[in-house]
A and B are shown apart, each in its own frame.
Chain A
Amino acid sequence: MVASFDELKTKFIALGGWQQRYRELMLLGKELPMMANELKVDDAKVAGCESNVWMYIDFTPQEDQLLIIADSDTRIVKGLLAVILLMYRHKTPAQVVAIDAEQEFDELGLLKHLSPSRGNGIRAIVQQINAFAQQHL
């Protein structure tokens, strides 16, 4: 299990072709804890996803950090969620908004998942996290 986003990046960049990267991505998804079914309600659904994505974001003022949990019914989106959660883990709202997600996804070779195509949920997830962080700056 990768412990940090930097570790993930190093690992990804070292991987040869897209096949290894996507295998790794799906493995990351498998390691993402499953969300309890009671939490998978419509209110928690991210709009614009071709798959089902549920996400909860919370803010702990004591630690000045965002807390995000998310789940999906597809392997790849779940893997992408794992990447996103690592990217924003232990980050303050100010740090969250300072992250250039496109740049990070580009470096991981996953940029196409952030494309502005209609129905692409990953972009919506990143935007939702950013909007939440903005409110808690």
Chain B
Amino acid sequence: MFDIEAIRSDFPALTHHQQQGIVYLDSAATSQKPQCVIDAVSHFYENGNANVHRGAHRLSSDATKGYELARAKVAEFINCHANELVWTKGATEAINLVAYGLTHRLGKGDVILISELEHHANIVPWQQLAKRSGATLRAIPVNDQGIIETKSALALIEALKPKVLAISQASNALGNIQPVHTLIKAAKAHGGLTLVDGAQSLLHLRPDVKALDCDFFVFSAHKCLGPTGIGGLYGRYPCLEALEVFQTGGEMVTKVTINEAQFNPPPGKFETGTPNIAGVLGFGAAIDYLNALELAQLRAHELQLFAYLQSQIAQFSQVRILGDLNNNIGTISFVVSGEHPYDLATLMDMEGIALRHGHHCAQPLMSALGVNGTVRVSLAFYNNKADVDAFITALANTLEMIA
């Protein structure tokens, strides 16, 4: 039985928000953390604190055990082998790692294909790769609702035969769930490498990387109940092996002389410097927390709230919602004709509603949609009906105020 109030009580910040009269509807920016994640982080610093993969003392070996156990947990969560999972600072660093590591593999005439609705993190690293390698960066267009049309996307893949296809499983700005599986299949048919940006999908969809059949999958822990500053890169093992090293230094090497170094096999060869140990342990706790909850129930609750939100927002005729409402992780991105998103969001903040406005790090998407930004409400399973009601009341007040 899904008990929303019991779930909410696991998230101390939600209680704190409530006391301050704030409603959190910005989970696409970062999710709230359950107490067990906060405890795992402080427990490490309070009790175990030691570096990992270094030294013979028992503190280090305990820390290493916990750290590698968390890797195994996260790997199982996305259905890959632990040695296919590289810890990074987050999704952004993971994409940079791949884009950098592919430099020697691309050249003039090669195409890197992304889409118009990507987050800047899934655009700019590819631009830089194109500049370094001489390859060309192209984008699958979106329609005027901000949706990728599968048919035209497939035709574009067919025509361009991209060497790399990098696409988000769910859009951060609009919440669209994208037909990544179909697009990956098409790209693979032409021997293209595929990368899925799972920053937004990890929490809502619990992707199975083997089912997606992508070569790379990237994510950030903080958008999936975990701490900030930690995330990961899944790569099919041969794909990881074929990547050039990104950052170099200690721990990623087996043998070093003044002029040469031999690197560890993956994932070690991409993990240099002391990692975010507390972050990894916290993320492991987040995965434990999610594993104890049934995805189908969380998803059903989110979709129910999402439907309720849509039905309520429909009363405002001046509100125009963008994005794919039929396939969505629970995000409403909207504009009000003649009004700047900044004004709406500022007044909504005064009303105690925490949401995001602006271009959502997706300026090419905003240009394609012909808007200067949107206001974005992003739900998570810990939101409840009262949160939606508070938002609707605040929106009514805001629209009345600027009328």
A76, CB-defined interface residue at 8 Å = yes
Residue of B nearest to A18 (CB): B350
A73 and B340 in contact, given A19-B401, A22-B401, A23-B401 (Cβ under 8 angstroms)? yes
Cα distance A50–B346 in the bound complex, in angstroms: 11
Q: A26: which B residues are within 8 A, CB to CB?
A: 343, 402
Residue of B nearest to A52 (CB): B372
Do residues B342 and A51 form an inter-chain contact, with CB atoms below 8 A?
A: yes
A66, CB-defined interface residue at 8 Å = no
Q: B397: which A residues are within 8 A, CB to CB?
A: 19
Do residues A22 and B347 form an inter-chain contact, with CB atoms below 8 A?
A: yes
A50 and B350 in contact, given A22-B401, A26-B402 (Cβ under 8 angstroms)? no
Cα distance A18–B373 in the bound complex, in angstroms: 25
Q: A76: which B residues are within 8 A, CB to CB?
A: 342-343, 346-347
B358, CB-defined interface residue at 8 Å = yes
CB distance from A68 to the nearest CB of B (A): 21
Encode A37-58 as 1/0 by CB contact (under 8 A) with B: 0000000000000110000000
Do residues B358 and A50 form an inter-chain contact, with CB atoms below 8 A?
A: yes
Residue of A nearest to B359 (CB): A50
Cα distance A22–B398 in the bound complex, in angstroms: 11
Q: B402: which A residues are within 8 A, CB to CB?
A: 26, 75
Q: A77: which B residues are within 8 A, CB to CB?
A: 342
Cα distance A102–B347 in the bound complex, in angstroms: 21
Encode B326-360 as 1/0 by CB contact (under 8 A) with A: 00000000000000101100110010000001100
Do residues B342 and A50 form an inter-chain contact, with CB atoms below 8 A?
A: yes
Q: A18: which B residues are within 8 A, CB to CB?
A: 350
Q: A127: which B residues are within 8 A, CB to CB?
A: none
Q: B372: which A residues are within 8 A, CB to CB?
A: 73
Q: B346: which A residues are within 8 A, CB to CB?
A: 76
Residue of A nearest to B397 (CB): A19
Do residues A74 and B342 form an inter-chain contact, with CB atoms below 8 A?
A: yes
Q: B350: which A residues are within 8 A, CB to CB?
A: 18-19, 22
CB distance from A123 to the nearest CB of B (A): 15
Q: A22: which B residues are within 8 A, CB to CB?
A: 347, 350, 401
Encode A5-35 as 1/0 by CB contact (under 8 A) with B: 0000000000000110011001000000000
Q: Which of B346, B357, B358 has the most CB of A within 10 A?
A: B346
Cα distance A23–B403 in the bound complex, in angstroms: 11
Q: In the A-B complex, list the 8 residue pairs whose CB atoms are closest, starting with the nearest.
A: A74-B340, A74-B342, A51-B342, A75-B343, A74-B343, A76-B343, A76-B346, A18-B350
Chain A residues with a Cβ under 8 A of chain B: 18-19, 22-23, 26, 50-51, 73-77, 119
Between-chain CB contacts (< 8 Å), 11 pairs: A22-B347, A26-B343, A50-B373, A51-B340, A74-B342, A74-B343, A75-B340, A75-B343, A76-B342, A76-B347, A119-B358
